[in-house]
Structure 1
Amino acid sequence: MSSAAPSPTAQSLAVVLVSPKTPGNIGAAARAMLNMGASDLRIVAPRCDYLDSQAVAMAVHAGDLLRSAKIYPTLREALADRDLSVGTSARIRADLPAPRHPAQVRGLVREAAAPALVFGPEETGLINSDLEQCQVTVRIPTGDYASLNLAQAVLLVCYEFLQGQDDVPEHSRQTATREDMEAMYGHLQDTMHLIGYTDAVRGRHTMRLWRAMLDRALMSSAESRMFRGLLRQVKWKVEQGSGKASTEIRIESEE
């Protein structure tokens, strides 16, 4: 009996492994992806040879998927072309939205044109700065012992998002890529400092709150550009005001 053709979501779904340590875990994760129909493996700053013999052995029939993996120096670059990034975490983090059950996020993943699932290092999982770059975080329900092997986590989350693909989303829209959003957040942070809305001490906490709010909006690329247009206007107005103030001070001193 032949297997069914990969669904559109399976074809577009990227699995991102952040700084994996063990070749066998990478190979096993590739095998888990193949089991669920996903094929876009991305590895950020690996701490081992991802094509080591142990990785190839654990990949079994997913050797081609493993060899076609893309390597990136940073998570931001790995997510640049994605329009939805889903992080994984078993812990509640301060200032970050609480993880959700994968089934609650399934609709978002299906509606996205280029979704990504992000998994952290074996010892620590994703750190806060990684999760900041994810619009939503999921937690795999487990018993009291919540520690899962990397490949197990990949298998379970891919299963949740790639099952029941005959369901048709109620609506779909093209959301901005993560690179569009990260550029917008950098612009927003600069503007906040410019107008004194926040400072270096409170800035990170403030940006986490704004990221959480704006990520929920699922902006399109056009909307992110419109928002940045507003930020440019704020900067122009502030600079105009500063220039005017400087002129007035100079004229008064000359008198």
Structure 2
Amino acid sequence: MLERIRIVLIGTSHPGNIGGVARAMHNMGLADLALVAPRCDVITQDSISRASGADHLLHQATLHASIEEAIADCTLAVGASARSRTLPWPMLSPRELAARLPQECKPDNARVALVFGREDSGLTNTELQRCHAHVHIPTNADFSSLNLAAAVQVLAYECRMAWLGQIEPPTVTDEQDERATHEELERYFEHLERTLVAIEFHDPDQPRQLMARLRRLYLRARPEKMEMNILRGILSATEKAALPRQR
């Protein structure tokens, strides 16, 4: 299970924090580190020192230009968020997230991304909307700021506890098909918006958060690959039926 969990850091500005994250990961048996547009050098004396023997994770970390690229093959993406948002998203505690992981990691194509934002500003709303759910660490309200490596350590610890079997996975009686990946979902959202514009249901100039709300709906539903194929087929048929109106 642990080998299917990816830690994604976006816009990290201090190499020491990346080293600290590598140490926290290695402590808990995680090894998949992805860096999105880091604002600092990854391999420095500071990052190697803070890694404390886990610097091999720094050397094998993957670099990406965007969150979409970093989580393209993931079937579940969870964004770490400390702020309430104008558009509510499914919110989990670290333990609730961990309780889901054994079942989430069962399919052959399973890959889980835990996404962390910038030290100074966290994740943007757009980045959070690329995630199926958000996770919030319930810190002291009077002193809630967590160092990046400390936040990763908390979630990595809960992941390890789930792996050790101390959290019972949910009982599922029906066999599940493979979940749709982030990349497949993004293609669906593009197709959906194009179709809604074609049938004049969606006006891009006056969006009224329509696509954000639909994105939240489908990400909450966690469609399987077969279900995604059905939905894409419905959209294609809808586009075809709308052609006479467009002429």
Given residue 131 of structure 1, which amino acid in structure 2 is its aligned partner? Answer: L
Q: Which has the higher helix share?
A: 1
Aligned to 1:3: none
Given residue 87 of structure 1, which amino acid in structure 2 is its aligned partner? Answer: G
Aligned to 1:86: 78
Aligned to 1:17: 9
Aligned to 2:212: 208
Aligned to 1:249: none
1:163 alignment partner, SS class:
helix
Aligned to 2:121: 124
Aligned to 1:246: none
Alignment partner of 1:218 out of 203, 216, 222: 222
Deviation digits for residues 23-75 of structure 1, max 9, x if unmatched? Answer: 00001001100111110000001111111121111111111111100000010
Q: Find the aligned partners of 1:207 and 1:72 in 2 and give their Cα distance.
A: 25
Aligned to 1:114: 111
Q: What TM-score does the superposition give when structure 1 sets the normalisation length?
A: 0.88
Deviation digits for residues 87-135 of structure 1, max 9, x if unmatched? Answer: 0001111113153212222233322221110000000001100000000
Aligned to 1:252: none
Alignment partner of 1:58 out of 29, 47, 50: 50
Aligned to 1:48: 40
Residue 234 of structure 1 pairs with residue 238 of structure 2: yes
1:16 alignment partner, SS class:
strand
Counterparts in 2 of 1:204 and 1:188: CA distance versus 1, 3 Å: farther
Given residue 133 of structure 1, which amino acid in structure 2 is its aligned partner? Answer: R
1:118 alignment partner, SS class:
strand
Residue 73 of structure 1 pairs with residue 65 of structure 2: yes
Alignment partner of 1:133 out of 108, 130, 135: 130
Counterparts in 2 of 1:26 and 1:204: CA distance versus 1, 3 Å: farther
2:197 alignment partner, SS class:
helix
Aligned to 2:155: 157
Moved over 4 A (4+): none
- Mind listing any 5+ residue stretches in structure 1 that lack a counterpart? 1-8, 244-255
Over aligned residues, Cα RMSD in angstroms? Answer: 1.5
In the alignment of these two chains, the number of paired residues is 235
Deviation of residue 203 (structure 1)? 2.5
- Mind listing any 5+ residue stretches in structure 2 that lack a counterpart? 105-109
Given residue 197 of structure 1, which amino acid in structure 2 is its aligned partner? Answer: F
Given residue 183 of structure 1, which amino acid in structure 2 is its aligned partner? Answer: R
Greater displacement, 107-116 / 79-88: 107-116
Q: Find the aligned partners of 1:84 and 1:74 in 2 and give their Cα distance.
A: 17
* Structure exhibiting the larger radius of gyration computed from Cα positions: 1
Aligned to 2:181: 177
Q: Find the aligned partners of 2:33 and 2:9 in 1 and give their Cα distance.
A: 8
1:17 alignment partner, SS class:
strand
Greater displacement, 181-190 / 78-87: 181-190
Q: Percent identity?
A: 35
Q: What TM-score does the superposition give when structure 2 sets the normalisation length?
A: 0.90
Given that 1:96 and 1:132 are in contact with CA atoms closer than 8 Å, whether structure 2 keeps it comes out as no
Deviation of residue 202 (structure 1)? 3.8
Residue 188 of structure 1 pairs with residue 154 of structure 2: no
Q: Find the aligned partners of 2:216 and 2:183 in 1 and give their Cα distance.
A: 16
Deviation of residue 159 (structure 1)? 1.2
Q: Find the aligned partners of 1:202 and 1:225 in 2 and give their Cα distance.
A: 29
Deviation of residue 78 (structure 1)? 0.4
Q: Find the aligned partners of 2:60 and 2:147 in 1 and give their Cα distance.
A: 23
